[in-house]
Amino acid sequence: MANVGALPPGLEVVRVTPTFDENTVPAGLLAAHQVAAGVWGRLVVLAGTVRFVFEHDGATHDLTAGDTVAIPPERPHHLELTGPVQLAVEFHRDRARP
């Protein structure tokens, strides 16, 4: 199991997407996009494989079941599907922030 990056301390989960698979993953996740200011994302791979790509430097991470990636606010990234997959995205915000 690999954890790419870490969420800062003091964050709480504010929303979790439904579980997506290779047929239901939204097209927007496959194109460059970013998490809103003040919000961190966390990709959680539940089954299969997926490639996570940070746009700013082209860094790629090949992920399998149990792997996660911490996604900083406003950092463009996208997913590349490499086969069957199940994944979800958690959204975290500083619990002290209104």
Q: Provide the number of structural domains found in the chain.
A: 1
Strands (E), 19-65: 20-21, 39-54, 60-64
Rg, Å, the chain Cα set: 13
We report the CATH number of the domain holding residue 26 as 2.60.120.10
- Does a structural domain hold residue 82? yes
Domain assignment present for residue 80? The answer is yes
Query: Domain range holding 79?
Result: 14-94
Banded model confidence at residue 95, pLDDT cuts 50, 70, 90? confident
Give pLDDT, residue 97.
Answer: 62
- For the question of whether the overall pTM of this predicted structure is more than 0.85, the answer is yes
Torsion 12-65-53-3 (CA) sign? positive
According to DSSP, residue 56 is labeled T
- Residues 26-55, mean pLDDT to the nearest whole number: 97
Residue 39, helix vs strand vs coil? strand
Give percent of the chain with pLDDT exceeding 70.
96
Residue 37 placed within a domain: yes
